[in-house]
Amino acid sequence: MLIRTLRKKSPAKIDRLGRKLGRLLRKADKKRARTAAANLSFAFPDMGEQEKQEIIEKVYDHFGMVGLDFFAGADRTKEDIEAITEVEGIEHLEEARAQGKGLLMITGHFGNWERIAAWFAVQGHPMTVVARDADQDDVNDIVNQIRRAPGTEVVARGDAARPIVERLKENRPIGILPDQNAKDAFVPFFGKPAGTVLGPGVMAERLGAAILPTVCLYHGEGRCTLKFYPLLEWEPIEDIKGAGTMVAINQWLEQVILENPEQWLWIHDRWRLARREGLL
């Protein structure tokens, strides 16, 4: 019902509804808004309270808009997606493919990340994405149905290791969002230790896969810029396989978040495990 309703709306109307939804969510779940304020304090200790609150409001606006854009775009064609998606840095994608050792496309819960897999699929290069299951089974089924419709393969985060290795050997792009709290290792993020997954780094270091940093900035009314960055370089860290790569990934994420802080998921408790371990 939601998808059918949104299909009838203009992009501007969808954005207006998305902003309203975001603000309703902010009022309904004040705990996450407090988490966002705490995260901003970790990342920007000199930021004033008014500026933090302004960013938090924009964060909820942003995720309300891109959330509805995802559902509204469930049946977009190749022509639709290309018309509203500007692409930059395509030469970096081509370089990664040419290496022939697999492609780890790294992004974050930033911008309109769902558009990335949709764009790859309609270009004839469907990717495998690693995704955390939603808490509600019915929501999870709908979201994954939309993701899979153009040809994207979705694998659950807990069962991803073997499919990733297989797809990398096939030189298929793998989409990973390694910017959420995890217990593998504590890696600096905005100058503070943050629980971070090591899997992408281990895969890259063992298999020689290229790491392609990618973002999809949202500009409003369905329009995005899909930007591929130069292939990531890293320095290995002795005795911790994958950690050097994850340090480099976190440093890159910091840069893109600094440029558009309202497009990152500050409401996620990124430093929860670090606090629990007494590291903060």
Q: Which residue, 220, 227, 234, is CA-closest to 259?
A: 227
> Exposure of 96 by Cβ count < 10 A (0-12 exposed, 13-18 middle, 19+ buried)?
buried
pLDDT reported for residue 164: 86
- Encoded amino acid at 182, one letter: A
Distance of CA 92 to the CA centre of its chain: 19
pLDDT reported for residue 234: 86
- Encoded amino acid at 186, one letter: F
DSSP letter, residue 48: -
Residue 47's contacts (CB-CB under 8 Å, 6 or more residues apart) are: 40, 41
pLDDT reported for residue 136: 52
**Any idea where the domains of the chain sit in the sequence?**
2-276
pLDDT per residue rounded down to tens, the chain (280 residues):
667 788 778 999 999 999 999 999 999 989 999 999 999 999 999 999 999 999 999 999 999 999 999 999 888 999 999 999 999 999 999 999 999 888 999 999 999 999 999 999 999 988 999 877 655 556 678 888 888 888 888 888 777 788 888 888 888 899 999 999 999 999 999 999 999 999 999 988 888 999 999 999 999 999 999 999 999 998 888 788 888 999 999 999 999 999 999 999 999 999 999 999 999 8
Residue listed under structure tokens 């559902």: 71
pTM: 0.92
pLDDT reported for residue 1: 63
**Alpha-carbon gap, residue 28 to 35, rounded angstroms:** 14
